[in-house]
Amino acid sequence: MLLNNRHLLGIAELSPQEINTILDLADKYVDLNRETERKGQRLKGRTVVNLFFEVSTRTRGSFELAAKRLGADCINMNADGTSTRKGETLIDTAMTLNAMHIDVLVVRHSASGAVKLLADKVNCAVINAGDGQHEHPTQALLDALVMRRRTKKLEGLNVAICGDILHSRVARSNIFLLNKLGARVRVVAPLTLLPKDIDRMGCEVHTRMETGVKDADIIMMLRIQNERMEGSFVPSAREYYHFFGLDRAKLNLAKPDALIMHPGPMNRGVEIDSEVADDIHRSLILNQVEFGVAVRMACLDLLTRQLMSNQRLQDAAQ
């Protein structure tokens, strides 16, 4: 089965079947990545460009590895190093890249909706690697894969997403995905870090960890940036840790076998205590990093297959 869209811009436009297609394929790549010989040929001759307007190490590295393991040529373009600095508009950048005949463009941008704007102007496939506070679809997919491999199914799972929901694209993509696959989502944060009407996106709202993580199967912690804890959204890091940081005492309120996730990078001692972050029985944080590569391989694979079939259709039409 192929995907319905040429691009992967967000979880919101994927059907549950499409999500499962990606996860099923990613499952195979997880196993392949654990072999000694990891290099494949599926994307031989293809070009993947990572276009990052916002700094990233793990996501960009993960996409680069994924592309290379599939045999593609991959280059990284940072916003700092491109002509955007010289005043080029986003659309001009897109047109320029388009003229180079690339196959997949992986884009991260600080403005919500910017990746969609760019995708509308190019002939290649575009993967959203995070746009503003909107979506980060591959993160939600890899989180789902981690949960699925560990708990067998997502349906009926109690997932508590805790922390800076307001500014988080990871939270939004996860809420979309978990709802589509039948999990029960709760968000836990002070009201200053919860966007308006979040309950209408299909989640239960909690403002205290004590009630929010109660009987949870999965606790997903989000990163909170330092500048948001200086009396603007939250009074201080100390207060945040006291009420919203995940430590052993709060973890004990969840199910006895509850698992911990974090999209990284972690602020130890702010949103999560090192004791629980490093608990090998409970923490899935390193699995998230590992499976990220597999999920991105699956996405690149499926989108390029799609390109092939589109090209065949075009050839047939001529």
Partner 1 sequence: MTITGTKTAYINARLLDPAAKLDAKGGVIVENGKIADVGANVGTSLASDIKVIDVGGACLAPGLVDMLVHTGEPGNEHKETFTTLGEAAAAGGVTAIATMPDTDPIIDNVAGVAYIDRRARQTKSVKHFPYAAMTVQCQGKEMTELGLLAEAGAVGFTDGLNTLGDAKLLRRIMSYSRSFDLLLLQLPLHPRLAEGGLMNGGEMSTRLGLSGISSEAEALQVMIDLRLAQATGARLHIGPVTTAESVQLIKDAKAKGVNVTCSTCPHYFTLTENDVGDYRTFAKVLPPLRDEANRKAIADAVADGTIDVIASKHHPQDVDSKRLPFAQAAPGIVGLETLLALSLKLHHENKVSLLNVLAALTSKPADVLRLPVGRLSKGSAADMVIFDAGEPWRISNDKLHSKSKNSPYETLPVQGRVKHTILDGRHVYDSTKIANAA
Is 248 one of the binding residues for partner 1 (CB under 8 A)? no
- 211 lies in the binding site for partner 1 (CB under 8 A): no
Site for partner 1 in 151-190 (CB under 8 A): 190
Q: Is 265 in the site for partner 1 (CB under 8 A)?
A: no
Task: Give the residue with the Cβ less far from partner 1, 130 or 212.
Answer: 212
Q: Per CB under 8 A, does 28 bind partner 1?
A: no
- Spatial separation of the C-alpha atoms in residues 307 and 312, rounded to whole Å: 9
Rounded to whole angstroms, the Cα distance separating 83 from 81 reads 7
199 binds partner 1 (CB under 8 A): no
In whole angstroms, the minimum distance from the beta carbon of 271 to partner 1 comes to 15
Main-chain phi, psi angles of 261, to 5 degrees: -130, 160
Structure-block tokens of residue 192: 């200053």
The only residue of 33, 243, 253, 305 in contact with partner 1, by rule CB under 8 A: 243
* Structure tokens, 30: 């997880």
- How far CA 39 is from CA of 251, 291, 297, 310, in Å, comes to 40, 16, 11, 26
3-state secondary structure of 294: helix
* Residue 155 per-residue DSSP state: T
Judge whether 146 and 287 are in contact, CB under 8 Å. yes
Closer residue to partner 1 in complex, CB, 43/166: 166
Residue number with CB closer to partner 1 (169 or 206) = 206
CA distance 95 to 282: 46
Which window, 124-132, 150-158, 238-246, 267-275, contacts partner 1 (CB under 8 A)?
A: 238-246
By CB under 8 A, name the one of 57, 232, 314, 318 that touches partner 1.
Answer: 232
The letter for the amino acid at 9 is L
Q: Which of 236, 252, 274, 309 binds partner 1 (CB under 8 A)?
A: 236
273 φψ region: left (φ > 0), alpha (ψ -120 to 50), beta (else): beta
User: In the numeric block, which tokens belong to residue 245?
Assistant: 């940081």
Is 214 a residue that touches partner 1 (CB under 8 A)?
A: no
Among 53, 63, 176, 233, binds partner 1 (CB under 8 A): 233
The residue within the footprint of partner 1, chosen from 87, 231, 256, 265 (CB under 8 A), is 231
Instruction: Give residues in contact with partner 1 (CB under 8 A).
Output: 190-192, 207-208, 230-236, 238-239, 242-243
